Every structure is written in structure tokens, then in C-alpha cells.
Amino acid sequence: MNKIAIAIHGGAGENSEFIEANYAGYLEGLRNAIEHGHQLLVDGASAVDAVEATVQILEDNPLFNAGRGAALNSDGEVEMDAAIMDGSNRSAGSVSMVTQVKNPITLARKVMDNTKHVHIAGYGALRLAKDHELELMHKDYFIVERQLNDLKDEKSYGHGTVGCVALDSQGNMAAGTSTGGITNSLPGRVGDSCMIGAGCYADSNCASSCTGDGEVIITNVIAHKVALLMELKGMTLQEACDYTINNPNQPIAGDVGIVSVNQYGEIAFSFNCDRMHRASIDRTGELVVDIYQSDSLLKPF
């Protein structure tokens, strides 16, 4: 069989009592999603299809900040962002300020496949979802107790995201990212997750999905930088991810996590904070499911 590989993240940042209390549930959610996505690839699915389906599973899981369980803005409302990119031809679709749509990643896919645009926001995104008869939910569906508590706690800076990268049996890669953004953000704030090159990027070098402080992921153009470092500097995938996050000449003032795959089915995780919820099945079939930092993962430059 040709090499296939898939990796996901479910957000990066500080540890919290909620994460510790729900540790087993998070591991189970990550494992379910990665095994489902991997099976699709084994069955011959394209990287884009596997990424979309895997992100959907994470969006439906209320433990993660995307779809059901999304963060609440300062008005107590959910506004979601998502992006998907096909590395085989660098086509992409993304959406922001999405309400009611059960699976924003599928709406991003519609933008990619069914419009001549890359990004659709707000009321236009909702209209497109209705035009394509995507599943819509009452706004209460998205709101979970954890996010209500985070919004009440003024000191809380809740955030998180889900993402997936995959290499299919044809050698093509894709990336997808979906988020509820940051707790207590200004209404209308749009983060990195739906910005191609920042929180999501795929080409023939690699596919990457990011999580963390969206504003610094945008200004450091994180996902695209990984691909450029590989292409122009000849770095390995892991070196490119680590350098992007830990470049001493241009320190990043925030939490950032990246998950990437390359055309050889190698997978890299890199993050500069307490934890990144993550899972992968690489070209050798090895399953990894983890949350906290481990010595082997972060190599400071």
C-alpha cells in the first residue's frame, strides 16, 4: 500500500482543571477521530475527504472548541471560523463569523468546491450553508456549560481549535482547521484558523494546521512559514515546525501549536505551551494520542 498518514490537534495552551478532570474523555475523543480518519484513508479516501470527515467528528464533540462546544464572545454568542486546503492544487475554502452551521468545515469545503472565492463571512456564509442544505442547529446546540463558565470567569482566556492534516494514497496532502475562537472576544473578531497561510495551509511540501493565540499565528504566518522553511532552507518537517515556533531571532509572544504532515507520511507536532491535544497515525501505522508536553517533542533552537 502507498504511504498514508494523518494527524490531528484539539487545541493548545495552558493546562486547566477542566482538562485534567476530563483527561480520559479527551484521549478517547482524539482516538476516535484519528482512527476514523485513518480508516477512510486506508479505504482510499482523498486527503481532503479524510480531513473534512475527521474535523467533523471533532466539531461534534463538545469537549473541543469547534462546532458544539465553541467559545462564546463577549455578547455570549458563538461565531465560528474554519478552513480547508487541498495541497494537490492549492485550492482552499474558508468561512468566518459562522452561526447555526453544525459543521463549519463542511461549509468551508463548499466554498472551495462550489464557489469561485476562497473566503465567505457572516451572513453570506449562512446563506451559502442554506443554499447547500447543510445541517443547521439552534444556537443553544453549540453552547456548553464549560464555555458559559469560562465567559463568567473574567480572568479566563479560553481558547482552542481542532485541526487535521492528511496524506492520501495518491500522495496528496490536505489541511483543515475549525474553531470557536477565543472566549470573550469582541463580536466580529476573526482568528487565524480560517486564514489560509496562518492557521491552515497545504501544498506539495507539507500540510499544516495551527492552534493557539490567533493574533500571533496571523502575524507570524505560521502554517505557510513551515512550508517555506522546508522548501527554501531544506529543513525537515520537524525542524521547520520547531524553528517556526522557537526562532530566537523572532520570538513569538503567545501560545502556538502546529501539526504537520509531509509527502513521506512523516508527522510533526510542535508547541510552546503546556499542552496540545494531539493524535496521529503515521506512515508506519504507529498511533500516538497525547495531551501534555513531552521532552522528545520540543527541541529549542
CA dist., res. 119 & res. 131, Å (int) = 16
Other Cβ atoms less than 10 A from the Cβ of 21: the count is 9
For residue 157, give the amino acid letter. Answer: Y
Reference 177, options 156, 158, 159, 198; nearest CA is 198
Nearer to ligand ASP, 45 or 108 (CB): 108
Q: Binding pattern to ligand ASP, positions 163-202, x when CB under 6 A?
A: ----------------x-xx--------xxx-----x---
Nearer to ligand ASP, 45 or 259 (CB): 259
Residue 11 in the binding site for ligand ASP (CB under 6 A): yes
Minimal distance in Å, beta carbon 12 to ligand ASP? 7
CA dist., res. 127 & res. 185, Å (int) = 24
Residue 107 in the binding site for ligand ASP (CB under 6 A): no
Q: Binding pattern to ligand ASP, positions 236-265, x when CB under 6 A?
A: ------------------------------
Residue 97 in the binding site for ligand ASP (CB under 6 A): no
Dig out the grid coordinates for 104 from the structure: 463549519
CA dist., res. 182 & res. 205, Å (int) = 30
Nearer to ligand ASP, 190 or 230 (CB): 190
User: Applying CB under 6 A, which part among 18-26, 144-152, 211-219, 280-288 lies near ligand ASP?
Assistant: 211-219
For residue 208, give the amino acid letter. Answer: S
Residue nearest ligand ASP, CB atom distance? 214
- Give yes or no: 161 in active site: yes
How many of the chain's residues bind ligand ASP (CB under 6 A)? 16
DSSP letter for each residue of 185-208? PPTT---GGGSBTTTEEE-SSEEE
Whether 160 and 180 have beta carbons less than 8 Å apart is answered as: yes
Residue 160 in the binding site for ligand ASP (CB under 6 A): yes
For residue 255, give the amino acid letter. Answer: D
CA dist., res. 74 & res. 187, Å (int) = 7
Choosing from 54, 99, 106, 161, the catalytic residue is 161
Residues interacting with ligand ASP, by CB under 6 A?
A: 11, 13, 159-161, 179, 181-182, 191-193, 199, 211-212, 214, 217
